[in-house]
Structure 1
Amino acid sequence: MQTQRTGFVLTRQSRDSRGQTEIVLWVKTDEGPCRLVIRGDKPVCFITEDDYAHAERLLREAGITVDWRSLTLKNFQHQRMYGCYCHTVRDSLQLVSLLRSEQIEPFEADIRLADRFLMERFIRGGLTFTGLPQARAGYTDFQQVKAKSADYIPQLSVVSLDIECSEKGVLYSIGLHSEMDSRVIMVGTPNSDDEAVDWIQWVDSEKALLQALEEWFTQFDPDIVIGWNVIDFDFRLLLKRAEWNLLPLRIGRGSQTPHWRQSSQNPNSGFITVPGRVVLDGIDTLKTATYNFRSWSLESVSQELLGEGKQIHNVHDRMAEINYMFRHDKLSLARYNLQDCQLVSRIFAKTHLLDFAVERSRLTGVELDRVGGSVAAFTNLYLPQLHRAGYVAPSLDSDNWIASPGGYVMDSKPGLYDSVLVLDFKSLYPSIIRSFRIDPLGLVEGLLLEEGKAEDQAIAGFRGGRFHREKHFLPKMIEALWSARDQAKRDGEQAFSQAIKIIMNSFYGVLGSSGCRFFDHRLASSITMRGHEIMKTTRELIEAKGYEVIYGDTDSTFVSLKRAHAGEEADAIGQALVAYINQWWCDHLRQTYNLDSALELEYETHYHKFLMPTIRGQETGSKKRYAGLVKRGKEETIVYKGLETVRTDWTVLAQEFQQQLYHRVFHNLDVEDYVRQYVEQTNRGEFDDKLVYRKRLRRNLSEYQKNVPPHVRAARMADELNRQQGRSLQYQNGGWIEYLITLNGPEPKEALQSAVDYQHYIEKQLKPVADGILPFIGKHFDDITAPQLGLF
């Protein structure tokens, strides 16, 4: 009997089974997990009418059975298309290789079968399905499935997983933290004097540890597994140790095994599929949600977000301590293991990361665990609409990629200013797309118009672009997202608002990316060059009002009011400018293009004091670097952009010096005594804990040959010491190195052998910071710090 349910897609997979395709969707419903099986869906690609005869003969001679169908669809060159339907995924892959070897392009052949099944039905996470159910152990199996989109927000169960192991990868323990159950599965037995705890499960071997993990997943059945570097470290090692122990590690739903796939671009990275469960790595998910941290270690992120963390930073100290605890103090190791799990859980809760992943999937249809995925999101949203408009999508064509201009960045006017306003265009690029109807289909249809009709039915873009006034999808997509984000803000739905913002702002980047099938330089250029025009005109409008524009960057304009203003007075000027400019653009677009303006300038900030520095060693103003003092009631904040305080490649010494120095300058306080004293304290070694450089090795250590920068020299020294002491090499394949500059050059922090070169830090860290601001008040670092010569 057919049964109907509503749920949310967790995982998707397509494969061949018994001579036909099989799509398997694992879905979370209110009634529990379900496995949906769709059989016989045919992989499809599209061939031009001109290539049909040649392609049909090639496939017939190769013994690849396909079904051909003449279609009304066209490609972007307006050629009629044939649909080419394969019976198996294997045949579809062979077909692509064969046709391309004969210079025949199979359009949309790269769309995976399960993805096409979902996107063509506009299924974005939520779906309603019918099928024949059969109860299984822990889930319901559905056959003969039919599905359609539904608005459904799942209640997902989550476990945070972390492992502890030896330096050779032998497992010691596995920590699991969830609302259902929290425990540490530990190899060994408790010490006789340990306090009795019920959250440690003791096992007698590594094999038993892995079997206990299988049993835990079967019993508690989580939807989501989270962790820190959980894919590339924890799961990678779990699968290796399972293989070594001759275990299948059946932790997927339906007692299925995970599948590991190595990244083709990064030998240290890969992807994992656990049927029926989603694995979310904390680092990758935070990056996708546009978070950024000085260091991505769990300790560092925990300190920044939660105000707590662990103090073991050096990998060898940490390893030695873990080994010691495993041998002598397993209870402490268990606490340490479980703390890692709890910290990750709290980070996910604090940042609403799971909510963010769910909302992104609901908006775009991408998988919950998809990292990045802007191109995939755009394709999911756009392709089904394009088909219904009678077109197939173009193929990737990176050979014809032409760069488009970047965002508008105005030459700055360096100086120390009183009262600078920042006016921002709200989502400038999306608003340009909305206002000027910029769209892949709109471009194709606009260029198709006869010259005489083009002026009435199309809007001129840049570099030959021309966009149809009525035939388009992207402007309406952005309008809907824009409205949804405004509502999410009003409702306080932070994760939903952030997901919409990222998706909306990614559309320009997608259209300007050679990795997107819809790339056309006329699309991207019509966005960025229109942005340049808008920013330049806005500057002229502001300066016509008697103010001075000192800088502009992509969508922000910095306006000097030419003298100090009180907060309320500056706010009134900012609001008046915004109202005037927005009305001007409304009138201009209506009169010039007969268009409604979606451009919206907002009054963002009043900096009571503002520094626009010069490029170091020059008199020219810098770009994307500034600092300003903001006052909100009795609270004051100095905002730094692009300066040493917010850069990870500068020392804490320089950052703390800058923060205090800028505070003094912005408040007209004495600076000379402070600078002299800070230099003297540095020289006396009072700030030795602030001298560490931390830099990333972006290549394998052996690849640095001609140019060997300081951090590479330090890393090589560190690994030579590791080799001498019989420890594993730490830096050969990249990573982060902490080092100091000594009188004998750069040396790793963990193996410092020489005296610190304090003069280096004074000249290379303190002096550049000071000389970025002191000249604007008529002072210079060298004059302040030079030895005083007595006059006799």
Structure 2
Amino acid sequence: MTRALVGGQGMILTARTVFRGNEELIELWLATEQGPVKLLSPTESSVCFIKQTDSDALSNCAARLGLPVTITPVDLYTFGHEPVASVKLPQSRQLTQLRKAATEYGVCLFEADIKTPDRYLMERFVTLGVQYQGVPQRNSGTLTQARIKPAQYRCHLTMFSVDIECNEHGELFSIGIASTMCNLVLIIGDAGNQFESTESNPFEYVWCENEKALLDAFIHSVQHYDPDIFIGWNVKQFDFPVLHAAAKRHGTSLVIGREQTALDIRTFEDGRAYVDIPGRVIIDGIEGLKTMTYQFDNFTLDNVATQLLGKQKLITDTDKLGTIKRLFHEDKPRLAQYNFEDCKLVIEIADKVNLIDFLILRSELTGMRIGRPGGSVASFIHLYLPKLHRAGYVSPNRPENGGLASPGGYVMSSKPGLYKHVLVLDFKSLYPSIIRTFKIDPLGLVEGLKQPDDAIPGFKGAVFHRENHFLPDIISSLWKQRDDAKQQKDAARSQAIKILMNSFYGVLGSGGCPFYDPRLASSITLRGHAIMQTTAQWIREYGYDVIYGDTDSTFVHLANCNSDSDAVAIGKQLQQDINFRWHQKIEQEYELECALEIEFETHFETFFMPTIRGSEAGSKKRYAGVIRKGDEAKLVFKGLESVRSDWTLLAKMFQETLYQLVFTEQPVADYISETVNNIREGKLDAQLVYTKQLRKPLAEYTKSVPPHVKAAKQADEQNQSLGKQLQYQKRTAVRYVMTTGGPQVPEYQTHPLDYDHYIEKQIRPIADSILPTIGESFDAMASQQIGLF
């Protein structure tokens, strides 16, 4: 008897292929209001495409490998307008074999790198929410022969924030869990030590006899509370790999997936780990913030928590590992508190930036799984490829050589100097608006080249079809959604849409994208150049001086302006006039509707554009100025020392104070001489620490050894001689000072600080950049030092 179908709606948590005999199925785990649901699709083939003329050659290749391939002519074409055939195999690993061997037969496979679960979802236009129907299995929550289609659906997701403590060998001490369901610290120790939960320790102790018991307790907690999401700080590259290795040491698996499935981990040559837990999303806090485009001096939990929350970890010692090992042996309650607080900090950071909402929104918009980092190219493919197929084409392949570089954004030479009343006019989402206006699109290029007579001209030989395209419509839809999000003050949705829209230009100009074509990216950037240059010319025609332009921003000096209110009125009038002229120009010259929109963004009461150091030419992407909001004046820096992570606190504070004095027309001589005097007297030593990131493992710095690398190498040599953990072997931040003996980390400083270095390399360049604008010199002021030496 045929069982009745069961259906509902859910959010996709994970997707993968699973085997049933020699066949592959797609396994989807969904979150629903009623709890987790597992779907298994009907048998799903692995698919790619070839030119029909290559069918015999590929058949011979498959026969030699013993692969059961099915080749079928289909009504699709390459971008070169050649008819193609579909290639189907029962298993994805068979497609991988065929892909490697096909080149020997001179056969090009198209779309062979699209993973089967991704193709399954994108061809159904599914992103995050689904409506499903399937056959229930006996004694199981699984639905087989499942069918899905897209749906707008959300439900509450449960989450574990996880953090581990261990020694340098990966031997576990404790595992912390923070969530709305339970707050636990699983810790190796004597269960006879009864510690009560308190306000300062709002968690339950779970005492474990040994490491194996600790792992078992963790597995039990996960299976009992059954979270949808794991979140942690560097959890994919550290915590889960360490837990996996510990389980292997004890001859067991870390069965923390749904239906008692084990964590799956693969390690790549560069040391990165790929972690998958069936039925559960894994969110790495660092990856998530980077996906949201957050930038920090370094992404340590302590630094990010300080910047976003104003909080620090409970252990901030330089020798953090040594302190953790000591606490494990001497003060386990303190270690447990530290472990749990780290779990809480991750949740607080995620709440502060709306990380989970952002990742869910991104998944709804693009089809990227919630826990997947980055993915700009994959997002574009997910949205674009199914539309392309229905237009009769298959995707080209990624360029083998990475592609040719396309022109960058427009940056005009600046006019350095100190100014009163400078306006900034910004084009709103310039590159997306260019794509919308001029119909820039991969399909549009192919169709435009086929019928060039009425096509829209691009650059470098590109022409675009007026009707046959997808990307302009995708952006128009996203644009409207973003406007709606702004009206509703939905910051997470607005940010997710902005990042997605702005990624499209980068994707089309990336050699990692199958739709890469230098004509596409150039038709965006070079059109941007033309728009910026024309806009600047129009502004000059109104009698104003354009002193700088950068990608989508134009800086206008109002030489004869006498008040803030006059400047604002001019800015609004320029905005109105320029928008009118662009709409008129594009309608008349191209018969297109203009989506360009310039906005009067900022009025600087005082503005400073420096020269390039050692030159009279104006700098680029570096300026400072004062803007006023109500009665409050705010100092703004772009690209200067005060916002550079690798300059000292001394330089940042000196620049802010000096510029403030100059901008408000106050004397500066006493401040400069006093600063130089305080440096030499050692009063500012705490501000003289540099912080710079190691961009690669320490051992790989061989030809060029910059100061922070020298300091790191010396420090780890000292750590090794003292039997301490090596701190600087991997990519990490190095804090160092310049001494008379060269760069050294503060913990191992053996020489006095080189005060001349700080005066000449940190203070002088800042002063020399701005003092000439007020007719002063650093040498004259620095010599007026207080006290005798």
For normalisation by structure 1, the TM-score amounts to 0.96
**1:708 aligns to what?**
705
Letter in structure 2 aligned against 1:682:
I
Q: C-alpha distance in 2, partners of 1:755/1:788?
A: 21
Shift of 1:570: 1.5
Match of 1:288 among 282, 288, 291: 291
The answer to whether the aligner puts 1:300 opposite 2:336 as a matched pair is no
Match of 1:373 among 375, 387, 394: 375
Stretch deviating more after TM superposition (61-70 or 158-167)? 61-70
**1:435 aligns to what?**
437
**1:517 aligns to what?**
514
**1:474 aligns to what?**
471
Q: C-alpha distance in 2, partners of 1:370/1:245?
A: 30
Look up the SS of the partner of 2:588 in the other structure.
helix
**2:395 aligns to what?**
393
**1:250 aligns to what?**
255
Query: How many pairs were matched up?
Result: 780
**2:537 aligns to what?**
540
Q: Aligned ranges for residues 569-580 of structure 1 at < 5 Å?
A: 569-580=566-577
The answer to whether the aligner puts 1:199 opposite 2:204 as a matched pair is yes
Match of 2:746 among 749, 764, 772: 749
Letter in structure 2 aligned against 1:108:
E
**1:630 aligns to what?**
627
User: Does the aligned pair in 1 maintain the 2:648–2:690 contact within 8 Å?
Assistant: yes
Q: C-alpha distance in 2, partners of 1:310/1:358?
A: 28
User: Does the aligned pair in 2 maintain the 1:364–1:380 contact within 8 Å?
Assistant: yes
Cα deviation per residue 1:59-87 (whole Å; 9 max; x = unaligned)? 23432112221111000000001111112
User: Does the aligned pair in 2 maintain the 1:398–1:515 contact within 8 Å?
Assistant: no
Shift of 1:192: 5.7
Q: C-alpha distance in 2, partners of 1:97/1:246?
A: 35
The answer to whether the aligner puts 1:561 opposite 2:558 as a matched pair is yes
Cα deviation per residue 1:768-787 (whole Å; 9 max; x = unaligned)? 11112111111111111125
Letter in structure 1 aligned against 2:770:
I
Cα deviation per residue 1:673-729 (whole Å; 9 max; x = unaligned)? 011111111111111111111111222323222322111111111011111111222
Cα deviation per residue 1:512-542 (whole Å; 9 max; x = unaligned)? 0000000111111111110000000000001
User: Does the aligned pair in 2 maintain the 1:299–1:311 contact within 8 Å?
Assistant: no
Letter in structure 2 aligned against 1:447:
L
**1:218 aligns to what?**
223
Shift of 1:320: 2.0
Match of 1:55 among 49, 58, 67: 58
User: Does the aligned pair in 2 maintain the 1:20–1:39 contact within 8 Å?
Assistant: no
**1:526 aligns to what?**
523
Look up the SS of the partner of 2:36 in the other structure.
strand
Look up the SS of the partner of 2:41 in the other structure.
strand
Stretch deviating more after TM superposition (270-279 or 96-105)? 96-105
Match of 1:84 among 82, 87, 98: 87
Look up the SS of the partner of 1:30 in the other structure.
coil
Letter in structure 2 aligned against 1:28:
A
Shift of 1:172: 0.9
Q: C-alpha distance in 1, partners of 2:344/2:173?
A: 18
Q: C-alpha distance in 2, partners of 1:115/1:3?
A: 24
Stretch deviating more after TM superposition (765-774 or 320-329)? 320-329
**1:93 aligns to what?**
96
The answer to whether the aligner puts 1:382 opposite 2:379 as a matched pair is no
Q: C-alpha distance in 2, partners of 1:321/1:15?
A: 45
User: Does the aligned pair in 1 maintain the 2:313–2:342 contact within 8 Å?
Assistant: no
User: Does the aligned pair in 1 maintain the 2:627–2:633 contact within 8 Å?
Assistant: yes
Identity, % of aligned positions: 47
User: Does the aligned pair in 2 maintain the 1:419–1:563 contact within 8 Å?
Assistant: no
User: Does the aligned pair in 2 maintain the 1:437–1:467 contact within 8 Å?
Assistant: yes
Q: C-alpha distance in 1, partners of 2:268/2:658?
A: 47
Shift of 1:568: 2.4
Q: C-alpha distance in 2, partners of 1:664/1:145?
A: 70
User: Does the aligned pair in 1 maintain the 2:677–2:785 contact within 8 Å?
Assistant: no
Letter in structure 2 aligned against 1:304:
Q
User: Does the aligned pair in 2 maintain the 1:190–1:331 contact within 8 Å?
Assistant: no
Match of 1:596 among 582, 593, 598: 593
User: Does the aligned pair in 2 maintain the 1:612–1:627 contact within 8 Å?
Assistant: yes
Match of 2:673 among 653, 673, 676: 676
Cα deviation per residue 1:317-341 (whole Å; 9 max; x = unaligned)? x122212221121111111111101
Letter in structure 2 aligned against 1:58:
C
**2:190 aligns to what?**
189
Q: Structure 1 residues 639 and 331 mapped into 2: Cα distance closer, same or farther (>3 Å)?
A: same
Q: Which runs of 5+ in 2 are unaligned?
A: none
Q: Structure 1 residues 513 and 133 mapped into 2: Cα distance closer, same or farther (>3 Å)?
A: same
The answer to whether the aligner puts 1:493 opposite 2:490 as a matched pair is yes
Q: Aligned ranges for residues 25-64 of structure 1 at < 5 Å?
A: 25-64=28-67
Stretch deviating more after TM superposition (1-10 or 97-106)? 97-106
Match of 1:329 among 325, 328, 331: 331
Q: C-alpha distance in 2, partners of 1:788/1:72?
A: 83
Letter in structure 1 aligned against 2:388:
L
The answer to whether the aligner puts 1:699 opposite 2:702 as a matched pair is no
Cα deviation per residue 1:113-139 (whole Å; 9 max; x = unaligned)? 0000000000001111100124767xx
Shift of 1:167: 2.5
Look up the SS of the partner of 1:505 in the other structure.
helix
**1:132 aligns to what?**
135
Q: Aligned ranges for residues 417-428 of structure 1 at < 5 Å?
A: 417-428=419-430
**2:7 aligns to what?**
4
Letter in structure 2 aligned against 1:468:
H
Letter in structure 1 aligned against 2:394:
V
Q: C-alpha distance in 1, partners of 2:505/2:328?
A: 52
User: Does the aligned pair in 1 maintain the 2:396–2:515 contact within 8 Å?
Assistant: yes
Cα deviation per residue 1:482-528 (whole Å; 9 max; x = unaligned)? 00000011111111111100000000000000000001111111111
Q: Aligned ranges for residues 633-782 of structure 1 at < 5 Å?
A: 633-782=630-779
Stretch deviating more after TM superposition (162-171 or 59-68)? 59-68
**2:166 aligns to what?**
165
Cα deviation per residue 1:420-466 (whole Å; 9 max; x = unaligned)? 110000000000000000000000000001xxxx34x3101111000
Q: Structure 1 residues 592 and 250 mapped into 2: Cα distance closer, same or farther (>3 Å)?
A: same
Shift of 1:762: 0.7
Shift of 1:189: 2.7
Look up the SS of the partner of 1:398 in the other structure.
coil
Shift of 1:196: 5.9
Shift of 1:15: 3.8
Q: C-alpha distance in 2, partners of 1:650/1:165?
A: 34
**1:339 aligns to what?**
341
**1:582 aligns to what?**
579
User: Does the aligned pair in 1 maintain the 2:676–2:785 contact within 8 Å?
Assistant: no
**2:268 aligns to what?**
263
Letter in structure 2 aligned against 1:360:
R
Look up the SS of the partner of 1:248 in the other structure.
coil
Look up the SS of the partner of 1:477 in the other structure.
helix
Shift of 1:362: 0.3
Cα deviation per residue 1:293-321 (whole Å; 9 max; x = unaligned)? 122111111111111113644552x1222
Q: C-alpha distance in 2, partners of 1:114/1:310?
A: 40
The answer to whether the aligner puts 1:413 opposite 2:421 as a matched pair is no
Q: C-alpha distance in 1, partners of 2:442/2:462?
A: 10
**1:445 aligns to what?**
447
Shift of 1:368: 1.2
The answer to whether the aligner puts 1:236 opposite 2:241 as a matched pair is yes
User: Does the aligned pair in 2 maintain the 1:48–1:80 contact within 8 Å?
Assistant: yes
Shift of 1:204: 1.2
User: Does the aligned pair in 1 maintain the 2:55–2:71 contact within 8 Å?
Assistant: no
Q: C-alpha distance in 1, partners of 2:139/2:512?
A: 42
Look up the SS of the partner of 1:385 in the other structure.
helix
Q: C-alpha distance in 2, partners of 1:470/1:180?
A: 53
Shift of 1:39: 3.5
Shift of 1:563: 4.2
